[in-house]
């Protein structure tokens, strides 16, 4: 269904950055180079390390998830 609206009809008001996946998932991607069950790596990293990983990615706007708040032009 085409509503006739285009992204160009909007401007970005705000961008929220969220890091959903932890460092265990990143480690799995580096090792396996594809989606893989990363639970085997979860115990390698403490909660503090995982939280720091997510915080650093969020502060540097390098997260796996972004939420855009748009306003109509």
Distance CA 49, CA 54 (A): 9
**pLDDT tens for each residue of 3-33:** 657 888 999 999 999 999 999 999 999 999 9
Distance CA 70, CA 56 (A): 25
Distance CA 16, CA 27 (A): 25
Q: What is the pLDDT of residue 1?
A: 55
Q: Is residue 18 a contact partner of residue 29, using CB atoms and an 8 Å limit?
A: no
The domain segmentation of the chain, as residue ranges, is 7-72
Q: What is the pLDDT of residue 21?
A: 97
**pLDDT tens for each residue of 32-46:** 999 899 999 999 999
**Is residue 67 predicted with pLDDT exceeding 90?**
yes
Tell me what the pLDDT averaged over the chain comes to.
93
Residue with tokens 């639970």: 39
Q: What is the pLDDT of residue 5?
A: 77
The number of CA neighbours under 13 Å toward the Cβ of 37 is 2
């Amino acid at each position: 269904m085409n509503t006739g609206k285009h992204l160009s009809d909007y401007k970005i008001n705000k961008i929220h950055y969220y890091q959903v996946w932890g460092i265990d998932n990143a480690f799995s991607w580096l090792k396996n180079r594809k989606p893989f069950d990363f639970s085997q790596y979860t115990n390698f990293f403490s909660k503090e390390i995982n939280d720091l990983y997510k915080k650093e990615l969020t502060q540097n706007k390098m997260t796996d998830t972004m939420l855009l708040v748009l306003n109509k032009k």
